[in-house]
Structure 1
Amino acid sequence: MRVTSPIIDAVAIAAAALAQVGADPLTRPIVTDRAAEWLAPRPPVRVFGNTYLVGFGGLSVALIDTGDGLILIDGALPQGVVAILANVRKLGFAPHDIKYILSTEPHFDHAGGLAALARDTGATVVASRRGAEGLRSGRLAADDPQLGYDSRFPPVPHVRPIGDGEALRLGRTVVIARATPGHTMGSMSWTWRSCEARTCRSIVFASSLNPVFADGYRYSAPASRPIVDGFRRSHAVMARLSCDILITAHADQDGATDRFRTDPGACRSLAKASADKLDKRLREERGR
């Protein structure tokens, strides 16, 4: 009997990736103590209608079959690219049919695999204007609360910027970009409708809303005011979204165990959890 565990399987994925790509700089593993958790293997699954998940236990990667090509959302870590494309194939799709790859944020855990995915599929990467700047540089922005970590990832040379509220159309699918700044000022969430026969659902792929920070960063500092204001706007946006199904960039967001949520008020709950964490941190910084 073969004994498996998320750690063993995650290591196997990384080893397989290295074996296939050799010294490929775009898939060279990014070392982090959470890689095994984030890349815990999961089979591809249909969420609803033409929407699928092809990612991992800790990092979500979504796939939309528009009828005229595929849309991928997020790219996880570089060493996860082989597994993502394998999951796409398991669903019966061809990676070269991926026309767009949408980015939630310019952080290594969600954007690390974008350069390799774009190269291997020929797809166009799409991000917010601030997000596009970060993807092209492969570096964290100067105002990023996590700048102290100096987390780098393979830069994405060609990125198509998209504005808040702008629609991306492909086949029978319209994806709307929803700016959700705070975690990064370039963070973008994505919404669309997916149908089965006459039943349709509003789906939200939410960017990270967690107020994470590197040592020494203070949300209460005057220079951090735009970040806090960005979070507040994002909380209001997320709470108002039509949200029958919620997919979070981190699949284990706020202790979740399901890969997506269908409970009423899921987006409002996500917004409230983020607001509560931010308020708690602000109180701690102010000594209250």
Structure 2
Amino acid sequence: MTAADMRRVGVVGGGQMGAGIAEVCARAELDVLVCETGARAAAAARERIAVSLERAVQRGKLDRISAEASLARIAVTADLTDLEDRQLVVEAVVEDTVAKTEVFAALDKIVTDPEAILATNTSSLPVMRLGMATDRADRVVGLHFFNPVPVLPLVEVVTTLHTSPAAKHEVTDFATRILGKSVVHSTDRAGFIVNALLVPYLLSAIRMTESGFASAADVDRGMELGCAHPMGPLRLADLIGLDSVASIAESLYEEFKEPLYAPPPLLQRMVAAGLLGRKSGRGFHAYDRGGEPR
């Protein structure tokens, strides 16, 4: 199968990442089917995509005709078996090994094309474990997008010991030629490239705030103005989602047992309290309903 043959794309999970992946695929003129856990969640996923497309129109990044055509290419379902005819399925459910493994085991039985690629958008979990839940581990890859997916240009293509060279080539070609993304390649290790470098930096900023050494505002301002970073580490953690940061940190620590990867107590308490950052309206900073800083 070539990248040009991948016209029917499935996305499992319609949250922030899944909706973004569905949107970029639809904007690339692909037939997209998003699967969620129920009818209400599926409708919410479609609305999430519609809002993102409208935002692109308002910001002059997309014309209205293209936005409406993109939305028309997206269907939603609450039945995983509807993905049977997909040529590429991207899993984007909660960052939990058990949940993701169950999805891959089910997709292996549902997706009929033996040449179809099953991809995971995991940011840190072992791709090998997901591949081994199927009978087609050679067609399982990591396809890690970054948030917000319609804006950020990078995709990490992650291969396991079983991933075939053909599958690696096909998804790389798909991400670059069809979606217009830039690709970096990583082998299957916790955090891959970007998060293995980024997360210790974010955790260090959290520990600095936790200790009372500096406020969240000053930590962020220091890195923005002193190092020319477009966004400070704590505001970036809020954007990613503090639950996601904690989950990635736990995966990194489990694999490497290095103290710098361990999630700080403050981060764990904030997650337990539902203070997840931008998506919940409050993290290290406060946000309005549109996700803009207050």
Please, what TM-score do these two structures have when normalized by structure 2?
0.32
Structure that is richer in strand per residue: 1
Q: Which structure has the larger Rg?
A: 2
Please, what TM-score do these two structures have when normalized by structure 1?
0.33
